[in-house]
Amino acid sequence: MLPIGKLSAATGVKVPTIRYYEQIGLLPEPGRSAGNQRLYGKSEQERLAFIRHARELGFPLEAIRELLSLSDDPSQPCAAADGIAKRQLQAVNARISRLTALRAELQRMVAQGAHGAISDCRVIETLGNHALCSHDHPADAG
Kindly report the CATH number assigned to the domain that includes residue 47.
Answer: 1.10.1660.10
Question: Same structural domain for residues 50 and 15?
Answer: yes
CA distance 20 to 42: 19
Question: Same structural domain for residues 48 and 94?
Answer: no
Total domain count for the chain?
A: 2
Give the total residue count for the chain: 142
pLDDT one-digit tens code per residue, 1-33? 999 999 999 999 999 999 999 999 999 988 888
Q: How far is CA 109 from the centre of its chain?
A: 29
Question: Same structural domain for residues 49 and 98?
Answer: no
Q: Which domain holds residue 28?
A: 2-59
Instruction: Average the pLDDT over 49-65 and give the result.
Output: 95
Of 41, 59, 77, the last residue of a domain is 59
pLDDT one-digit tens code per residue, 94-128? 999 999 988 988 888 777 766 667 666 767 777 77
Q: Is residue 121 part of a domain?
A: yes
CA distance 122 to 99: 20
Q: Is residue 118 part of a domain?
A: yes
